[in-house]
Amino acid sequence: MQHPDLCIAGAGIIGLSLALELHHRGYRVTVLDKGEALAESSSAAAGMLAAHDPDNPPQLLPLASLSLSLYPHFLDRIHALSEIRVPFQTHTTLQSVPSHIAGTGSELTVKDLSHLLPALVPGEHQFILLDEHSIDPRQLASALLAAVRATTIDLQPNTPVLSTRSIGDAVEISTSSGSMQAAKFINCAGAWAAVSSHQLTISITPKKGQMLSVVLPPILPMHFVVRTPDIYIVPRTTGPSAGRAIIGATVEDIGFDKIIHPADIDHLRSLATTLLPILAGARQLEAWSGLRPATPDGLPVLGALPAQPNHFIATGHYRNGILLAPATAKVMAQLIVGEASAIELSSFSPTRFSSELTSP
């Protein structure tokens, strides 16, 4: 029977970032996944580090801001281990804002937008300019996986966790290939991370997102993201995908369905061409979908599970898994080893779903 210090379920961006952080602190880490590493929403995302997206819950801002501050070091650590440099693709976002924000002096006029991107047709939208980076999640996935494989982290794909139980000061983890014991267990299983017991029910809903990529016309030099409540257009400016743009995404509550529907892809293209008519004839390269892990209140779940000794959870990042990975790794590592957290985490506590708190 294996005896790692820590066992993580879920080899997505959250699970592997946490594994690297804990390994850096000197712990023996095993990571289990029901499929292949980084094969779900981590590689399906657009890659916007959208800490100031007006659609984000306000309680998310401290965690998002912490993550932004950690990102350069996070990428440097991955580069040092993998020898793969993950660059920022863009540094600016044109963000559509609701009417109550407009009029503050921060909105951009049609003239401003025409100067920034002559092909843009604002229509009914009002925009502000955000200092916001984006990355290519597929580049990040390749580098992160190489970084993990350059360490002693024991990564076991195609090894689903069947059950766990606390035994004294340890956790016994039953998997499809046998059992192991670890001092602590962390559930980072994304859309598959739901917890249900008589004391605690954490509902994680898979929110399907369909998206596509197109070749940008050579006459459209696009070096920043355009985002409205209905659509985003995220260019790739460097690396193997340079010269294309990601267009997304649907938000669908239909379970674990990843089927691509041409009508939905056509609708996304229509929304994109309303803003950028020049994209109407852009050649489509591919279409895909991912399952975002969403909680009822739209906030991640980060912390220890009550009444389950040595069990922790880190999931529910919804549309911000790429953004929040460095901060999640840091604060979860601090919780697991008993350090003070870098930020206040009460908004993300699993106990907010405790039946003891919601009972009359």
We report the CATH number of the domain holding residue 357 as 3.50.50.60
Burial 232-264 (b: 16+ CB within 10 A, else e): bbbbbbeeebeebbbbbbbebeeeeebeeeeeb
Structure confidence at residue 74 as a pLDDT band (50, 70, 90): very high
Considering the chain, what is the average pLDDT of its residues?
92
Q: Give the rounded percent of residues in the chain with a pLDDT score beyond 90.
A: 81
Q: Answer yes or no: do 80 and 129 share one domain.
A: no
Residue with tokens 């998002």: 64
Q: What is the DSSP code string of 4-29?
A: -SEEEE--SHHHHHHHHHHHHTT--E
Q: Which of 182, 137, 127, 151 is nearest to 311 (CA)?
A: 182
Mean predicted confidence (pLDDT) in 100-121 = 61
Neighbours of 352 (CB within 10 A): 17
Q: Answer yes or no: do 118 and 219 share one domain.
A: yes
Q: Are the C-beta atoms of residues 329 and 17 closer than 8 Å to each other?
A: yes
Q: Last residue of some domain: 292, 307, 327?
A: 292
Q: Answer yes or no: do 143 and 286 share one domain.
A: no
> What's 268's domain CATH number?
3.30.9.10
Q: Which of 297, 355, 301 is nearest to 63 (CA)?
A: 301
In angstroms, the CA 131 to CA 85 distance is 22
Q: Answer yes or no: do 282 and 236 share one domain.
A: yes
With 0-12 / 13-18 / 19 or more C-beta atoms within 10 angstroms meaning exposed / middle / buried, residue 301 is: buried
Side-chain half-sphere exposure of 268, counting CA atoms within 13 A: 28
Whether the model clears a pTM of 0.85, i.e. scores above it, the answer is yes
Q: What is residue 104's predicted lDDT score, i.e. its pLDDT?
A: 46
Structure confidence at residue 111 as a pLDDT band (50, 70, 90): low
Tokens describing residue 43: 């590689």
Q: Give the rounded percent of residues in the chain with a pLDDT score beyond 70.
A: 91
Residue with tokens 């980072």: 188
Q: Answer yes or no: do 146 and 284 share one domain.
A: no
Q: What is residue 233's predicted lDDT score, i.e. its pLDDT?
A: 97
Q: Answer yes or no: do 157 and 278 share one domain.
A: no
User: 126 - beta bridge partners?
Assistant: 97
Mean predicted confidence (pLDDT) in 10-35 = 98
Q: What is residue 353's predicted lDDT score, i.e. its pLDDT?
A: 86
Structure confidence at residue 47 as a pLDDT band (50, 70, 90): very high
In angstroms, the CA 294 to CA 286 distance is 25
Q: Answer yes or no: do 185 and 238 share one domain.
A: no
- Residue ranges of the alpha helices (H) in 210-354? 262-275, 321-337
Q: Is the pLDDT of residue 314 over 60?
A: yes
Q: Answer yes or no: do 122 and 243 share one domain.
A: yes
Strands 29-32, 201-202: pairing kind: unpaired
Q: Answer yes or no: do 192 and 263 share one domain.
A: no
Q: Answer yes or no: do 143 and 214 share one domain.
A: no
Mean predicted confidence (pLDDT) in 99-106 = 52
Q: What is the DSSP code string of 46-95?
A: --B--TT-TTS-GGGHHHHHHHHHHHHHHHHHHHHHHS-----SEEEEEE
In angstroms, the CA 259 to CA 8 distance is 29
Q: What is residue 199's predicted lDDT score, i.e. its pLDDT?
A: 77
Q: What is residue 105's predicted lDDT score, i.e. its pLDDT?
A: 44
Q: Answer yes or no: do 229 and 164 share one domain.
A: no
Residue numbers of the domain that contains 306: 1-88+135-204+295-360
Q: Answer yes or no: do 82 and 172 share one domain.
A: yes
In angstroms, the CA 330 to CA 333 distance is 5
Q: Is the pLDDT of residue 322 over 80?
A: yes
Side-chain half-sphere exposure of 259, counting CA atoms within 13 A: 7
Q: Is the pLDDT of residue 359 over 50?
A: no
Q: What is residue 288's predicted lDDT score, i.e. its pLDDT?
A: 98
Report pLDDT digits (tens) over 155-168. 999 999 999 999 99
SS3 39: coil
Weakest mean pLDDT among 27-36, 57-66, 100-109, 124-133: 100-109
In angstroms, the CA 140 to CA 85 distance is 9
Report pLDDT digits (tens) over 229-280. 999 999 999 999 999 999 999 999 999 999 999 999 999 999 999 989 999 9
Q: Are the C-beta atoms of residues 63 and 71 closer than 8 Å to each other?
A: no
Domain count, the chain: 2
Report which of residues 108 and 284 the model is more confident about: 284
Q: Last residue of some domain: 271, 292, 313?
A: 292
Q: What is residue 44's predicted lDDT score, i.e. its pLDDT?
A: 94
Q: Last residue of some domain: 267, 292, 317?
A: 292
- Cis ω for the linkage preceding 242 (within 30 of 0): no
Q: What is residue 186's predicted lDDT score, i.e. its pLDDT?
A: 98
Report pLDDT digits (tens) over 118-141. 667 767 778 888 999 999 999 999
Structure confidence at residue 294 as a pLDDT band (50, 70, 90): very high
